[in-house]
Structure 1
Amino acid sequence: MPGSIVWLASYPKSGNTWLRAMLTHLLAAPGDDVSVNALAGAPEGGDRHALDDACAISSAEMKPAELLPYRALLHRQMAAENAAPFFVKTHDQYALGPGDTALFPADASRAAIYIVRNPLDVALSFAHHNQQDVDTTIARMADADSTLNRWPDRISDFLPVHLGRWSDHVAGWTQQDAIPLCLLRYEDMLTDPAAALARAAAAAGLDAAPAAIAAAVAASRFDRLRDREAIEGFSEKPANMPNFFRAGRAGEWRSALTAAQVTHIVADHRGQMAALDYLPASMA
């Protein structure tokens, strides 16, 4: 029997939160008032205190690589305690540790839904998210050691997240064969969000009627999410970020990136960009 966890995996700023909003509305009872701060798929596996409690360790005293088997144990515990499908967001790169210990154990996993976005647009959105300049973000996306929550003070509530290179992040999740995979391109989600949500629901084992899919998509439009964020705030937004939900567009890079920046990103990630039909026509 498959496990209960459905991983909602992506490199940051690729549409993960939007998919979580659609899934939340799909799972909600008719008439429920869905809060933007109660989305399905909270990143529970990244909670340092949950890990320490589950494994009786002090994670702040350990190196990230040493935490992998303990995090795998926490994931198995989460799967055992929750009915399928249990959605969990992650930005971690798919990883195998010593002895082929999987950070995302197959026996705890029902499916992986991997959301991928053109790195030319990711660079812009990630730069906005971090309040950094685009060139710094482009370099970060090509850094094999790139990490979220680096723990400089060892008191963060969240565990370090190994991103690595954008290309390696994509390859790690899409080329693994231990967990059934549903690959969603952000651009296709924008073009036909109902079809994307239907695919995600099917991968998770949800029996969703077309009318329910359509209602969930309508309730999760970007303008509605922005309105809810303006009213409620959004607990997952970095403190220095003016707003989390932005434009929800594809192709913004064409007017916002310089030719040199486009060339740099393509040089760093050409292989995966070609495989996903993300290369600019002039560079294909």
Structure 2
Amino acid sequence: MRKIIWLASYPKSGNTWMRVLLTNYLRNSATPVDINKLEGGPIASARLWFDEWVGVEAAELDDNVIERLRPGVYRCMAGETHDTLYMKVHDAWGRTDRGEALFPADVTAGVVYIVRNPLDMAMSCAHHWGVDIDTAAESMCDPTFATSRSLGGLSDQLRQSMLSWSGHVQSWLDESGLPVHVVRYEDLLAAPAATFGGVVRFCGLPFDAARVGKAVAFSDFSELQRQEREKGFRERSLRAPGSFFRRGQAGAWREELPPELVNRLIAAHGEMMKRFGYTTHQGGNDNVD
């Protein structure tokens, strides 16, 4: 049995980019990997995999029952694989209604947690969820926020409890008790080889600097956009009005985010933002990316 490395993040923080980087590194091919055929395992909240392992469609179960079953599904997946699973997860870390960890420590090798300035995430989340920017910002501040509830069986994703942005970060870094390697999205942009190289080492993969450089080049944002233009991206939300790979920048909030929403997000998340160098006080002007 091998174990799972969770690639955890709040939505639109760079999780997919990290999976592309890892896939390019693991395959070490002569050409960039297909963004629709990424390595490492299913998305943790995918209904298809849950239904297959449990033998009952999630649409027939309520959310509490689904969450009770999810830890067992991950144990089964780990027990059946001979390779490390790199599983994308947007859920906050938490426990089921019976007190069991949703992401069990006994099958966890570690967590790569990708964090991004929430001011930049607001517009990306609005775009991804197909809502207005005010609604997205309020969701990011809501400690009870959850997505893709299973009621009616209409979603291809299980219910994911997100919490607020700060709550999500805190759940994985301070409450999970799991070994966590934190990656700032902004550092991945500014120094991709050094930052991704740290991920390679944390995952226990053989380190090769030339291979890291090739993975970074093959995962350039322009390449991801090119592939999506030519053949689409199957993980793009049907509610999104445009492409999944939108801008891929740091600091775009200065152009996109109204001042009142800047103040709203900083009021809710200022302390956690300080922890990652995103703001130095309760105001947006001194934000650093």
TM-score class, shorter-chain normalisation, is: over 0.9
The Cα of 1:240 is off from its aligned counterpart by: 4.1
2:196 and 2:212 in contact (8 A); partners too: yes
Match of 1:60 in 2: 59
The Cα of 1:98 is off from its aligned counterpart by: 4.0
Match of 2:168 in 1: 169
1:127 and 1:134 in contact (8 A); partners too: yes
Deviations 1:95-125, CA, capped at 9 Å, x for gaps:
1224531111011111100000000001011
Match of 1:10 in 2: 9
Match of 1:153 in 2: 152
The Cα of 1:150 is off from its aligned counterpart by: 2.0
1:33-72 matches, within 5 Å, as 34-72=33-71
Distance (whole Å) between structure 2 residues aligned to residue 37 and residue 208 of structure 1: 26
Match of 1:254 in 2: 254
Does 2:238 correspond to 1:239? yes
Partner-residue secondary structure (3-state), 2:205: coil
1:167 and 1:269 in contact (8 A); partners too: yes
Deviations 1:234-256, CA, capped at 9 Å, x for gaps:
11112343211122110111122
Structure 1 stretch displaced more, 68-77 or 49-58: 49-58
The Cα of 1:268 is off from its aligned counterpart by: 1.2
Quote the sequence identity (%).
36
Partner-residue secondary structure (3-state), 1:11: coil
Distance (whole Å) between structure 1 residues aligned to residue 250 and residue 36 of structure 2: 25
Distance (whole Å) between structure 2 residues aligned to residue 80 and residue 17 of structure 1: 25
1:3 and 1:107 in contact (8 A); partners too: no
**TM-score relative to the length of structure 2:** 0.91
Partner-residue secondary structure (3-state), 1:23: helix
Match of 1:195 in 2: 194
Deviations 1:7-33, CA, capped at 9 Å, x for gaps:
000000000011111111101143255
Deviations 1:40-85, CA, capped at 9 Å, x for gaps:
2454432324323323444323332222221000011111112342
Question: Do the aligned partners of residues 93 and 179 (structure 1) sit closer, same or farther apart at CA in structure 2, a change above 3 Å counting?
Answer: same
2:3 and 2:109 in contact (8 A); partners too: yes
Structure 1 stretch displaced more, 124-133 or 61-70: 61-70
Counterpart code for 2:210 = A
**TM-score relative to the length of structure 1:** 0.93
Partner-residue secondary structure (3-state), 2:153: coil
Partner-residue secondary structure (3-state), 2:171: helix
Counterpart code for 2:171 = G
Match of 2:133 in 1: 134
Structure 1 stretch displaced more, 266-275 or 114-123: 266-275
Which runs of 5 or more residues in structure 1 are unaligned?
Answer: none
Distance (whole Å) between structure 2 residues aligned to residue 176 and residue 120 of structure 1: 24
Counterpart code for 1:135 = D
In the alignment of these two chains, the number of paired residues is 283
Distance (whole Å) between structure 1 residues aligned to residue 57 and residue 127 of structure 2: 34
Q: CA RMSD in A?
A: 1.9
Deviations 1:159-194, CA, capped at 9 Å, x for gaps:
111111111000001113532110001011111111
2:42 and 2:49 in contact (8 A); partners too: no
1:111 and 1:181 in contact (8 A); partners too: yes
